[in-house]
Structure formats: C-alpha cells, structure tokens
Amino acid sequence: MKIVIAPDSFKESVSAEKCAAAIKAGFLSVFPQADCVCLPIADGGEGTVTAMVEATGGRVISLMATGPMGEAVPAFYGHNGAGDTAFIEMAAASGLMLVPAEARDPLLATSYGTGEIIRHALDAGIRHLILGIGGSATVDGGMGMAQALGVRFLDASGENLGYGGGELARLARIDMSQIDPRLAECRIEVACDVDNPLTGPRGASVVFAPQKGASPAMVEILERGMENYARVIQMTTGQEVQTLIGGGAAGGMGVAARIFLNATLKPGIDIVIDAVHLDDSIREADLVITGEGRIDSQTTGGKAPLGVARVAQKYGVPVIGIAGVLSEDVEVVHQHGIDAVFSILPALAPLSEVLAKGEQNLYHCARNIACVMKMGQQVRR
C-alpha cells in the first residue's frame, strides 16, 4: 500500500515536516509494510521556503530583519539549487508566530522585515523571487515592505508615516520616486493562499485582523485605513485595487506586491505542487492524507489541502483530511475531493495544551484511522 502524506503546517503548533512524520509514524504502527511518501506542502505561509528548498536541492540563507513589532528578529529565505531564484516567506520576518499572543496589535505591526529580506535577495543578485505571504501578523497593506524598498508614505503635512495599519487612515500621498530600481529587473511571483479582496466583508481587516489580535474597534480603524489606502493608490497609480483577487491576503500584502513589486499573484499551492512533483507521487498511490490546522469553507479558497485533493482527483485516489479544528461548514470540502475529515483533538483542553500536543495528537489520530482501515479489511461482507 502506497500512502502519500502531504499536509500543510498546523499553525503555531506543528510544522508541515513534523506533521507528515507524525502521520507516517501512526500509520506504520498499524501497517508496517506500507510505503509512506512524505511530501510536506505549503500554500504561501509557513513552510513554503522549506518545501521549495527541499524540492530544488537549494539552501537556506539566514539574516537579521525587523520583526512585526519593530524588534530585530532572525529571519531567512531560500535559494534554489541553480541559485537564480529566491523563495521568501513573509512569515519569516513578519509572521504571527513571532509575536506572543498578548502582544499582538495589527494597528502597530509592520511588514518592514519582509522588504528587508527582498532587499537582501536583490543584493545577492537574484532577480526571480517567489514570495509566500501567508501567516503574517500584519494588516498594514504591505506598507512596511514597500517602505523598506524605498517607497515613501506621507501624511497631509508631507511627513513619513510610521509603522502599522493604524497609520493608513492618515495617508495622503505615496512617493515612489525612490523605490529600489532593481525591482524593475525582477520577475516576482506571489504565492497567495486566499482570494480575499482588500476591503469589505471579506477583506483584510474584517476577516483576518481578528485572528491577529484586533478588537472590533481596531477592525473599524483598520478598515477605514484600507479604504483610504485604496483611494490614495488609485490617485497615485490609476489602478483600482479594492477588488483585486487576493489583494487582502496577509493584511493587504497582495495589493502591495501587485502595485509596488509588479508581481503576479498565483495560488501558492500551485507553485509548490509543481516544485515537489506531487503528480508523480500521487499517480500510483492508494491513499492520500493531507491536512492543516483548520479545515472549513475557507479551505476551498486555495488552501493547501484542496490543492492536494485536486491532484488526487485526477487519478481517482481517495483523500483523507486531518485538522486540529473542523468547522460546522466543513462538509463543503467533500465537494472538492476530500473524502473524509478527522479532527486530531481527543478531548477539550486549553489552547496552549492543544498546541503543545500537536505531534502527539497527530500520531494518535493517524493510528486510529489506520486501525479503522485495517478493521475494514477484516470485516466479513
């Protein structure tokens, strides 16, 4: 029996690599002869660099960058084996996991460090960049990233804005005259894990800001800021960005990447699937197991498990989804190729305990699934 194990990370709990290893261990405890192929997957968030580096025989480059709350943090990006492409995760310098829960504040959080990573790659002579924008702590519209690359965001008095989405409501003018000229030589692809627009009920502020520590009052401030941001961008460039597909991803980084980097937004899972040659592994598989921290209706908007399931559907291979949380609307994923879904949680527990026991719970969940499969083989018809 060949089993392809291709999960995304369980955010703030287990990396995609450790997730795949735990699922493999659970299945091998019941089916020791099974051929388990681990292919950790990402859709633009945490784990994208690792997945791409492993797929291309590349290496990881370390550097110091500005963290979400303005502090210096160790960051990284990846080189491919040929050395002509950089794989960058926004989460490496601007990620939610870098900020303790009690300190999260999207009014102040900045994406400046992501711009510093891009600049480092440019300094290394790289002109093809793949930027994954999932897992961010920010709702600053990508302003910080652009600031690091020379764009000036000015208030009505001509003063530079500070860090964070709370500043966007004061934005009056954008000066792009000093943007890094090397960006014009680049081909930049953005691995975008959602299709949300910049503003509105599905926009960056309303949907994602609460996940990053925003209160209802903060959400209102951020939404007004995003609306103003869109107006000033249109005034500056002539481009309407409020409805850009994926523009609201990573707190509006999708818009910044399109406007300031001239980037192409693509489903992140498609980029990774091509790099890890997922089709080749699934073609002869008997079962595919995928998963992420939460499986719900948003999973169908371009998340990693649906990308994996889409490949499996081509070859008629059944798919099991494993998650920490299953929402009430989870049944919608059955229409997209995930045949069964399971939660890894054995009992109600405090969030901190759940996150700490992610690998253990994944192992036991996978083992229980394998036990049911084995029992099914033994049941008389």
Residue with tokens 């965001």: 153
Q: Which of 65, 135, 59, 121 is nearest to 88 (CA)?
A: 121
132-149: average pLDDT: 95
Q: Which of 176, 164, 137 is nearest to 261 (CA)?
A: 176
* Alpha helices, H only, the chain: 16-28, 48-56, 91-94, 112-123, 143-148, 216-237, 249-260, 268-276, 278-282, 304-314, 351-356, 358-378
How far is it, in rounded angstroms, from Cα 321 to Cα 334? 10
**Mean pLDDT in the chain?**
92
Query: Global pTM?
Result: 0.78
pLDDT score recorded for residue 294:
87
Residues with Cβ within 8 Å of residue 213, at least 6 apart in sequence: 99, 101, 104, 105, 106
pLDDT score recorded for residue 302:
66
DSSP 136: B
Give whichever of 33-47, 109-123, 303-317, 323-337 has the largest mean pLDDT. Answer: 109-123
Lowest mean pLDDT segment, chosen from 12-26, 94-108, 288-302, 362-376: 288-302
144-164: average pLDDT: 98
Is residue 114 within 8 A of residue 148, CB to CB? The reply is: yes
Percentage of residues in the chain having pLDDT higher than 90: 73
Q: How many C-beta atoms surround the C-beta of residue 264 within 10 A?
A: 12
90-103: average pLDDT: 94
Q: Which of 225, 229, 181 is nearest to 206 (CA)?
A: 225
359-380: average pLDDT: 92
Lowest mean pLDDT segment, chosen from 78-82, 150-154, 186-190, 376-380: 376-380
Q: Which of 154, 138, 9 is nearest to 70 (CA)?
A: 138
Domains and CATH numbers, the chain: 2-40+277-378 (3.40.50.10350), 48-268 (3.90.1510.10)
How far is it, in rounded angstroms, from Cα 367 to Cα 23? 8
How far is it, in rounded angstroms, from Cα 129 to Cα 267? 15
Q: How many C-beta atoms surround the C-beta of residue 262 within 10 A?
A: 12
DSSP 288: E
279-283: average pLDDT: 95
pLDDT at residue 22 above 90?
A: yes
pLDDT score recorded for residue 173:
98
273-283: average pLDDT: 89
Q: Which pair of tokens denotes residue 299?
A: 């999973």
pLDDT at residue 272 above 90?
A: no
Residues with Cβ within 8 Å of residue 71, at least 6 apart in sequence: none
How far is it, in rounded angstroms, from Cα 164 to Cα 222? 10
pLDDT tens digits, 97-107: 999 999 999 99
303-309: average pLDDT: 89
